[in-house]
Structure 1
Amino acid sequence: MDLDALVGRARSLAGGGATRTVLGLAGPPGAGKSTLAQTLTAALGDAAAYVPLDGFHLSNAQLDRLGLRSRKGSEPSFDVRGYEALLRRLVGEPAREAYVPDFDRSLDEPVAARHLVPAGARLLVTEGNYLACDLPGWREARGLMAEVWYVDAAADLRDARLMRRHTGFGRDEAAARAWIDGNDRPNAELVERSRDRCDLVVTSLAG
């Protein structure tokens, strides 16, 4: 399915009248979820808004407290209940604008209120690794989504993207390789098991 067809399908999901609907994009690290989400949101203009899961990373202080700093980005390192609550509020209060958090890779921390969901947005495009996982919290969040698409990419392409990402934000190549093999790869293996729970499989945008 090409980009025009994906935009058309996303547009067809947009709520009519005063309602809002949610499109989720799941997939392994480096698959291109955020790129696709932002591309769809831009194509749909004021009718859509971007709601990234990454804003619900636990802070480094909380990861240290929980002993999860070396597994940052893994399933338990997110505030899934906070994410679910935000989606529920966004869907339930379509006449209100709302602020949405994000993750700042240069700070390596979540940041509040980076994105705005305008009152007129009728489709919320949300993306994150674990949206289709059959796990506590994620199941409830999935229940708020009209569809979830699985964004797929070849393993070597994902690996190259992750290497660029990690070295671009301060890790040397050896540290980046260790992080990919010890953290990103097991996260991807968990996410890949959720593929069959998605409504559509999308080939990642090139690059």
Structure 2
Amino acid sequence: MDAGELIEAALALTPEPGGRFLLGIAGAPGAGKSTLARLLVTELRGRLGPDAAAYVPMDGFHLSNAQLARLGLSARKGSAPSFDVWGYLTLLRRLRAHPASEPVYVPDYDRELHEPVAARHVVAPTTRLVLTEGNYLAAGAAAGPGWAEVRAELDAVWFLATPDGVRDTRLLARQQAGGLDPSAARSWVDANDHPNGDLVNSHLPHDVRVITLDAV
């Protein structure tokens, strides 16, 4: 499937003005979820108007480095317990409370700061398609408490299946861009990113649409 087909599929899910649809894009680390979600939002805004679609990254609910240290999770950053799943769930429920009269501000994760940042994105009251993406959106209870409730708030979930070798190359480049030397990047990807990906890849419910793209 190419990007054009996915753009058309997202358009087909977008309700008429006055409605709202929450689409989740799941996948293992390095699958290309954020790139795809941003592409779809840009294309839908270009066709339907600047507020028609909005980007809501799950990564904005990373726990801060201080909280990860307090919980002993610094070496497992990116694992399901290293997210504020209940905060993310509350946001999704706010977004479902539509029609809304006020904008909803959405946090993001900053790869230069290595910390979450508040209110980088906004969902307008007139937004019709919300695109949220993250590793654990399809995993449900297998990812731990709260994730089944997250899945229940989404109208549909797409799972982006990307070859392991492609993901590995991307993840190594990501860690080195973040400041790790090649050896430390290799250790991080093997000890953290790949186990997280194994959990995600091994829990695909029947109602999730699996998609593949040559490049995202």
The TM-score with structure 1 as length reference comes to: 0.95
Does 2:183 correspond to 1:177?
A: no
Unaligned runs of 5+ in 2: none
Q: For 1:184-195, what aligned pairs fall within 5 Å after superposition?
A: 184-195=193-204
SS of structure 2 residue aligned to 1:143? helix
Find the aligned partners of 1:94 and 1:101 in 2 and give their Cα distance.
21
Q: For 1:117-196, what aligned pairs fall within 5 Å after superposition?
A: 117-135=123-141, 136-196=145-205
Letter in 2 for 1:146: D
Unaligned runs of 5+ in 1: none
C-alpha RMSD of the superposition: 1.3
Q: Deviations over 1:52-111 (max 9, x none)?
A: 000000001111111000000001000111101101101204333111000001111000
Tell me if the contact between 1:88 and 1:144 (Cα under 8 Å) persists in the aligned partners.
yes
Q: Deviations over 1:4-25 (max 9, x none)?
A: 2211211222233422110000
Query: Per-residue deviation at 1:201?
Result: 1.2
Find the aligned partners of 1:8 and 1:104 in 2 and give their Cα distance.
30
Residue in 2 that maps onto 1:86: 91
Residue in 2 that maps onto 1:76: 81
SS of structure 2 residue aligned to 1:63? helix
Residue in 2 that maps onto 1:58: 63
Tell me if the contact between 1:99 and 1:114 (Cα under 8 Å) persists in the aligned partners.
yes
After the TM superposition, list the runs of 4 or more consecutive aligned residues in structure 1 that deviate by more than 3 angstroms: none
Letter in 2 for 1:54: D
Find the aligned partners of 2:99 and 2:43 in 1 and give their Cα distance.
21
Find the aligned partners of 1:154 and 1:27 in 2 and give their Cα distance.
11
Going from structure 1 to structure 2, the CA distance change for 1:198 and 1:163 (only over 3 Å counts) comes to farther
Count of residue pairs brought into register by the alignment: 207
